[in-house]
Chains A and B, each alone.
Chain A
Amino acid sequence: QKEVEQNSGPLSVPEGAIASLNCTYSDRVSQSFFWYRQYSGKSPELIMSIYSNGDKEDGRFTAQLNKASQYVSLLIRDSQPSDSATYLCAVNFLNSGYSTLTFGKGTMLLVSP
């Protein structure tokens, strides 16, 4: 069973702090990893993609991937109240010919002013 696991939260951090969101996945045959942000009642919005082990930084966001541990994380620096949303981890699992994107249930982040 190919699964993506996330702590549902909520994760509460004060404004200006670093928020750390974690995700584990169950299958080793996976090639790409994504973080999406979803505001209540809205569609998933792509934040970061990461394909190889290590860190990838984009503005206030850093994605970290460790394929050996089947672990991917997202760090949000200088958290803002507008960052309050549900963060979805998604993994592209390779099937017979094409990959399918599997989402975790998401972690709710609350940033307090």
Chain B
Amino acid sequence: EPEVTQTPSHQVTQMGQEVILRCVPISNHLYFYWYRQILGQKVEFLVSFYNNEISEKSEIFDDQFSVERPDGSNFTLKIRSTKLEDSAMYFCASSDGDNQPQHFGDGTRLSIL
């Protein structure tokens, strides 16, 4: 069964550094998403991406964050100047339609020291 893959599984970074989280969505999906889950809290929407542009973003997704689809398979989340409070699990998801079920990757655990 097709799946969303994310790398790395765990990223440890010093505060103030930049990180790039990578995702390979399901191949025939056109809608891509990033979510964040701080330990013990709910899954929070960050951003959705369709047709090579951001379609929706949340209040969390400020100028510190950016997304990119650098080629036909990868979808990346860049976090600039990381802060301690950016420590969380980051999930990538994809779907074949705006209102359709989203399938999640295994996540990247980001730890900011």
Q: How far is the CA of A100 from the CA of B55 in the complex (A)?
A: 10
The answer to the question of B25 belonging to the interface, with a C-beta cut-off of 8 Å to chain A, is: no
In residues 35-92 of chain A, which contact B (Cβ within 8 Å)? 36, 42-46, 49, 51, 88, 90, 92
Mask: chain B, 36-70; 1 = CB below 8 Å from A; 0 = not: 00000111110010100001101000000000000
- CA–CA, A100 to B31, complex, Å? 11
Q: Is the CB of B43 within 8 A of A99?
A: no
Chain A 86-107 residues near chain B, CB threshold 8 A:
88, 90, 92, 95, 97-106
Size class of B's contact patch? 20 to 34
Residues of chain B contacted by A45 (CB below 8 angstroms): 104
Q: List 24 A-B contacts (CB under 8 A).
A: A31-B99, A32-B99, A34-B101, A36-B104, A43-B105, A43-B107, A44-B91, A44-B104, A46-B102, A46-B103, A46-B104, A88-B42, A92-B99, A95-B56, A97-B55, A98-B50, A98-B55, A98-B98, A100-B48, A100-B58, A101-B33, A103-B42, A103-B43, A106-B42
Binding site for B on A (CB under 8 A): 31-32, 34, 36, 42-46, 49, 51, 88, 90, 92, 95, 97-106
